[in-house]
Amino acid sequence: MPLNTIVANNLYALRIQRKLSQSAVAKAARLSVSYVSMIERGQRSPPLETLEVLAEALKVTPISLVEEGSHGRTRPPRRR
């Protein structure tokens, strides 16, 4: 699985587990909501510095955002 997909899955799952909105994560990480959304959808591959601030915002280690299968996927499949 591509790394940006793993990060997308983990970011989404962690955010949902913590009952946070994209806006709350973006604010805590000092990122735009649209950028957080693009990362969650696998449309952007964030640099290490961004992974660090996202991890801090979610109160997890940065490695937990890149470990495959570590948080599961709770997002339903996208409709086409």
pLDDT tens-place string over residues 5-53: 999 999 999 999 999 999 999 999 999 999 999 999 999 999 999 999 9
Q: Which domain holds residue 22?
A: 3-59
> What pLDDT sits at residue 80?
42
Please give the pLDDT value at position 43: 93
Give the pLDDT band (50/70/90) at residue 71: low
Number of domains in the chain: 1
Residue 77 lies in a domain: no
Cα dihedral 78/43/67/53 (nearest 10) = -120
CATH code of the domain containing 50: 1.10.260.40
Residue 43 belongs to some domain of the structure:
yes
Confidence at residue 77, expressed as pLDDT on a 0 to 100 scale: 43
Q: Name the one residue in this structure whose structure tokens are 């599961």.
A: 72
Cα separation, 14 vs 72, in Å, equals: 9
The answer as to whether 80 is a domain residue is no
